[in-house]
Amino acid sequence: MSPDLAELVPSAAGLHVTTFTRGRLADPDALAQRAGRARATGVAVYTLAEVAANRSARPGFVLGYGSISAPDIKPGLHRLLGPPQDR
């Protein structure tokens, strides 16, 4: 993930990881559209606003990664973020 667009939040345990987004990935509507498109292709992703108690949460994604092989993670990120020109 590009550091100018996203910041991975360390996870001590669990089957989800959080990433805060920046720049053009900080727009709530754009995040919701990307997450919805990615979910439609089988990627386990939600926006922070969808899962946070405070709906005005910092922009970002919650990514599920349980029961997935490492080689399958990168294609899922491409489904979420789109081709490089869309990032």
- pLDDT value at position 71? 76
Those residues whose C-beta lies under 8 Å from the C-beta of residue 2, and which sit 6 or more positions away, are 87
- pLDDT value at position 8? 65
Q: Does domain 6-86 have CATH number 3.90.1150.10?
A: yes
- Note the pTM of the prediction, 2 decimals: 0.69
Of 44, 82, 49, 76, nearest to 63 by C-alpha is 44
- pLDDT value at position 4? 74
C-alpha–C-alpha distance, residues 73 and 82, integer Å: 14
Phi, psi of 70 (to 5 degrees): -55, -40
The answer on pLDDT for 9 being more than 80 is no
For 16-71, write each residue's pLDDT tens digit: 888 889 888 889 888 999 999 999 998 889 999 988 887 677 899 988 877 677 77
Domain ranges of the chain: 6-86
